[in-house]
Amino acid sequence: MPDYEEDGLRLFESGAIVLHIAGRPDAAEALLPAEPAARARATEWMFAALNSIEPHIQNLAAIDLFYPDEDWARARRPGAEQMVRTRRADLAAALGDKDWLADGRFTAGDLLMASVLRILRHTDLVGEAPALSAYLARCEARPAFQRALAAQMAVFEEA
């Protein structure tokens, strides 16, 4: 579970953490544009990642990673995969041929969407959608992503 603490403020939900960091005055619009409509569109994609896409992906991941030998999971998996495929198609259609989800720039919505799509690493579901595969690769290639991933993995390596 993500955990964040800053000057006595403690947050535990990834969406809340990203929104807080992106909205700080010193963030200088790195993740959330200042212009109200653009900011709303970036925020919209944050919520889409966590509420419209992630629950279905998490459902499939739980079936695949924690319950693969259970009869109920084998029966449920085709429907769970189909729901992910449906949401993936919706996301791919919304992305179209754009590099980023909103306003031609990387935002907090892209940060969270990439994190959600990474949950599918144990499948070929992202790779089957070339536009989403390229999108995820762009997100993961960002230097800030590489630094954040290295810092996250260092905690596990130390343990």
Residue 47 included in any domain: yes
Does 21 reside within a domain?
A: no
Q: Is residue 80 part of a domain?
A: yes
Residue 67 CB burial class (10 angstroms; 0-12, 13-18, ≥19): middle
Q: What percent of the chain has pLDDT over 90?
A: 91
DSSP result, 108-152: HHHHHHHHHHGGGGGSSTTTTSHHHHHHHHHHHHSHHHHHHHHHH
Helix (H) or strand (E) holding 105: none
In a domain, 22, yes or no: no
Measure the CA–CA gap between 150 and 147, rounded to whole angstroms: 5
Does residue 101 lie within any of the structural domains? yes
- Output the six-digit token pair for 89: 């198609």
Only one residue has tokens 């343990």, namely 159
Cβ neighbours of residue 48 under 8 Å, at least 6 residues apart? 91, 109, 113
Number of domains within the chain = 1
Tell me what pLDDT residue 2 has. Answer: 74
Residue 1's pLDDT band, with cuts at 50, 70 and 90, is: low
112-136 per-position pLDDT tens digit: 999 999 999 999 999 999 999 999 9
Q: What is the pLDDT, as a whole number, of residue 28?
A: 87
CATH code of residue 130:
1.20.1050.10
pLDDT of amino acid 47: 98
Q: Give tens-digit pLDDT for 78-92.
A: 999 999 999 999 999
Q: Domain of residue 56: give its range.
A: 35-158
The answer to whether residue 88 sits within a structural domain is yes
Cβ-proximal residues to 25 (8 Å cutoff; 6+ apart), any chain: none
Q: Which of 114, 119, 158 is nearest to 136 (CA)?
A: 114
Is 12 a domain residue?
A: no
Give the gyration radius of the chain's Cα atoms: 17
**pLDDT mean across residues, the chain:** 96
Summarize pLDDT for 90-113 with one digit per residue, the tens: 999 999 999 999 999 999 999 999
Predicted TM-score (pTM) of the model is: 0.93
β-strand pairing of 4-6 with 9-11: antiparallel
Q: Domain for residue 6, yes or no? A: no
